[in-house]
Amino acid sequence: MAESARDDGGDDGGTERDGSGAERDTSGAEGAERAARDRRRTAWRASERTLARGAAEARIGEGLARLTAEPPAGYDPDAWVDLYGDGIVEELERRVAGVLGTESAAFFPTGTMAQQIALRCWAGRTGNPLVAVHPLAHLEVHERDAYLTVSGLRAVRPTTEPRLPTAEEIRDLDEPFGTLALELPLRDAGFVLPSWDELVAVVEAARERDAVVHFDGARLWESTVHFGRTLPEIAALADTVYVSFYKSLDGISGAALAGPESLIAEAKAWRHRYGGTLFQQWPAVLSALAGLDREVRPAATCCSRPVPGPRSTRSWTRWTGSTTRRI
């Protein structure tokens, strides 16, 4: 196994050479943590067997080479780079909407931003700032309570058990809530997923409470195996779905929010306000498109099985501006 070579001159501070031979300052707590991270990456790269390999273990030159060595289908190197979300960014957005079977999608630099904006938009449309969310959800544990402090929303926890809430727990909540947020799978509970019937029942229970449903689908891509359903079938249960490009798809960075056209248009306006409409994003977008080509199998754009959608046309129109909800 490859090891880093230490060269500190015999004192407590000093430098350490990483796997590429470059010297790094290891003095102080930050330097020590950086050196430890480099050692872990070097050991990971040298291991013959790993549970997963991702973009985080690549060196900069390797990442640049991969962009050209594994281009996405239909890639035109003579096309202009994107400017503030046009061009190849719009192509990725169309691709995601097609893969998930939604009306529209928007690219975001981070999933945290995508989810804050989704919940904010739904709170405005439902008139209810209360979000039903598990205390182990990414929204609660890893985003510094952004949806509470930045967007002014409030949380209610349907359960503290290390699993997704049940339909009964949703029905028994003693406060009206505007949005049910479900992380699929629930990472900090051990990447747990409900059964398909349990998920359908939970969504139905939220509909009975006149709430919208948002899926944190950072790892939705591989959930199809567990559910035995296509991505469009799973996404059709929710009103909006967030997906990540740098986890299962091994992209550089980025995320997408998918859902009804009017909601996504509003989300893009908030994306600008949040500082998420970047000048250029083509490297991340190219890697996301390549990941979709590599990891996501084509599926029908409509569902082969019925899914719950008992919301009335009038309520759907009130919230999304659409006249019908097509599944």
- Residues 217 and 281 grouped into a single domain: yes
| Cα Rg of the chain (Å, integer) | 22
CA–CA separation, 217 vs 206, rounded Å? Answer: 18
Question: Residue 48: is it exposed, middle or buried by C-beta count within 10 angstroms (0-12/13-18/19+)?
Answer: exposed
- Any domain includes 67: no
User: Is residue 96 domain-shared with residue 181, that is, in the same domain?
Assistant: yes
- The answer on 14 and 98 residing in a single domain is no
Mark whether 19 and 115 lie in a shared domain.
no
3-state secondary structure of 10: coil
Domain extent at residue 19:
5-51
Amino acid at 179: T
Whether 326 is covered by a domain: the verdict is no
Residue 52 has pLDDT above 80, yes or no: no
User: Is residue 62, in this structure, part of any structural domain at all?
Assistant: no
Q: What is the pLDDT of residue 69?
A: 86
pLDDT above 80 (res 68)? yes
214 band by pLDDT with thresholds 50, 70 and 90? very high
- Binned at pLDDT 50, 70 and 90, residue 302 comes out as very low
Question: Hey, what's the torsion of the CAs at 95, 99, 100, 103, to 10 degrees?
Answer: 50
CATH code of the domain in which 312 resides: 3.40.640.10
Q: Which residue has the higher pLDDT, 52 or 198?
A: 198
Condensed to tens digits (0 to 9), the pLDDT of residues 94-112 reads 999 999 999 999 999 999 9
Residue 253: inside a domain:
yes
Residues 316 and 198 in one domain: yes
- Does some domain include residue 156? yes
Number of domains in the chain: 2
Residues 102 and 162 in one domain: yes
Tens-place pLDDT, residues 146-194: 999 999 999 999 999 999 999 999 999 999 999 999 999 999 999 999 9
Cα atoms in the Cβ-side hemisphere of radius 13 Å centred on 289:
23
Residue 310, token pair as written in the block: 């008992």
User: Residue 195 burial by CB count (10 A; 0-12/13-18/19+): exposed, middle or buried?
Assistant: exposed
